[in-house]
Structure 1
Amino acid sequence: MKKLIGIVAAFLLMASTALADTTIKVDGSTTVLPIMQKVVEAYMKAHPDVKISVSGGGSGNGIKALIDGATDIAMASRAMEQKEIDLAKTKNVAANQIVCAIDAIVPVVNPANKLSEITLAQLKDLYMGKITTWKDLGGDGPVVVISRDTSSGTYETWEGLVMKKERVFPGALMQASSGAVVQAVSKNKNAMGYVGIGYLDASTKALKVDGIEATAENAKSKKFPISRDLYLYTNGAPAGAVKGLVDFLLGAEGQKLVKEAGFVPLN
């Protein structure tokens, strides 16, 4: 009997280990989230033995989770900073960067707004609080500035490419996700926000920047001035079930899903 119990216990241990090997946790950027949700749904349908959980708490939170060993894949809409890479090394985490898609951060206004284009200089002035009324841009009414929060990779990219390292002024209304920005702008005729290209829909109006439209072609060529790569980060080169998921995303079917999510595939 004891021998039988031992065999059963060993079997259960092996089964639980096998389950752990096929459980993947993904965390991070709310910009990359729609892509990953589509990819995970398709991948789990084809691989029912693999269990994947996906959550979007922002690029900074995803990278922190990777460094702390709390996630297998970090989604990020900005590159890891050197201080993050150095911190990862102190915890024996070798941050491995994978470009998974291309994006454009697009200024958006309420559809009732007559504005159709804007300059980088004007965007900077708006987000520094120097421009406070739409009258300065040919419109009417006060400007309600909507921004992503500081844990967001989209915020950090905006800060680098638009603000030129200047901080967004304290009067901006900070939102925890791109979806929240869309909702806020769609409900306020005086609002101005910015979102990834995959979040554009009829509830907001996209603006040209310096006369250039945010198209897939212009994002890929980086002609659109607020274009960027989207990333996944793993601890070292992907292996096992994680490699299977990453390879699927980078393959033809996964890149097709990138396009379906509204973002720009790599090729």
Structure 2
Amino acid sequence: MVMKRIRPIGLTYLGLVVLTVIYSCTSKDHSIKMKGSDTEVNLAVNLAEKFTAIDPSFSIAISGGGSGLGITSLLNGQADIANSSRPLSEEEIEQFKKKDIALKTVVFAEDATAFIVHKDLPLEELDLETLAKILDGTIKNWNELTPVNLPINIYGRQSSSGTYSFVKKKLKIEFSAAAKEMTGNAQIIEGVKVDKSGVGYIGAGYVGDEPETKQGIRLIKIKETPTAVAYSPNDIEAINNSLYFFQRPLYQFVIASSWEKVRPFIEFEQSDKGKEIIKDHGYYIKD
């Protein structure tokens, strides 16, 4: 889990805090708690650092742990913002209704889920049916797909992860019981880069330039059928045209009672500077 308190170090935030808020705010009123998606946590930390450099009256505490944890924290009054890489489930919507907790929803970026293998595995692309059979354990050895005779090791996420839920829902599968449950994207990359039989799924924003030489992993292109065109999660044109199968919006759920407090930060995310930071992290803005 990543926990970071962003310390104020800069200038006033361009007058976006309205007078009624300025007069009523205490230090507590400018303390924001943000929890949830590991896919979003590094981006959230960078956005918060840049925002508090502009408005030093804010203190923002950020932790990961998965989308489900962030949403549960909202329900329990332990967060103002839940970062989530999936929408609310019907059950969660009902839980908020029962507690009479109103939410505001912000979609601030577009993400793609990338599938990775060790850099030495001679595999370039997969269709959805084959990918599903790998992740549910039907295909157990790489020799069914490549010349490499190694048992497949799956590096996945815990069930509280929005990425876990997203992949499971898109492929309509149950993950293999043998799949390793890693705590985040960085751990999956570390696992796969030292395991020549490894395969995993991560947020594409965690894939750097030249992943084979710098991270020891290979991105797998995805095609919907065996005869379809395969697309990479870092293909900007494909993302802009919604051609990559595993792309999704990234959400921030905000407690309505906290909205006035967090609104300056949300407005910063939506500013040109915020959008530049989002893109620099490997995510996308779709107007």
Partner of 1:5: none
8 Å CA contact retained: 1:75, 1:233: yes
Of 17, 21, 37, 1:29 maps to 37
Residue 171 (structure 2) pairs with residue 168 (structure 1): no
Partner of 1:142: 151
Partner of 1:8: none
Residue 212 (structure 2) pairs with residue 205 (structure 1): no
Per-residue deviation, 1:221:
2.6
- 1:9-47 deviations in Å (ceiling 9; x for gaps): xxxxxx996011110000000001121111000000001
- 1:178-201 deviations in Å (ceiling 9; x for gaps): 111111111111100011110113
Q: Secondary structure at the match of 2:73?
A: helix
Residue 247 (structure 2) pairs with residue 227 (structure 1): yes
The change in CA–CA distance for 1:240 and 1:16 in structure 2 (over 3 A counts) is closer
Q: Secondary structure at the match of 2:38?
A: coil
Partner of 2:100: 92
Partner of 2:138: 130
Partner of 2:11: none
The change in CA–CA distance for 1:128 and 1:43 in structure 2 (over 3 A counts) is same
| Percentage of matched positions with identical amino acids | 27
- 1:229-260 deviations in Å (ceiling 9; x for gaps): 10000112863330000111122111110111
The change in CA–CA distance for 1:237 and 1:160 in structure 2 (over 3 A counts) is farther
Of 82, 85, 90, 2:90 maps to 82
* Distance in 2, Cα, partners of 1:217 & 1:91: 43
The change in CA–CA distance for 1:17 and 1:212 in structure 2 (over 3 A counts) is closer
- 1:114-151 deviations in Å (ceiling 9; x for gaps): 11111111110001111111111123121111111110
Uncovered stretches (5+) of structure 1, i.e. residues with no partner = 1-14
* Distance in 2, Cα, partners of 1:61 & 1:21: 23
8 Å CA contact retained: 2:80, 2:258: no
Uncovered stretches (5+) of structure 2, i.e. residues with no partner = 1-22, 224-229
Which amino acid in structure 2 is aligned with residue 106 of structure 1? A
TM-score, normalised to structure 2's length?
0.84
Residue 82 (structure 2) pairs with residue 62 (structure 1): no
Q: Secondary structure at the match of 1:263?
A: coil
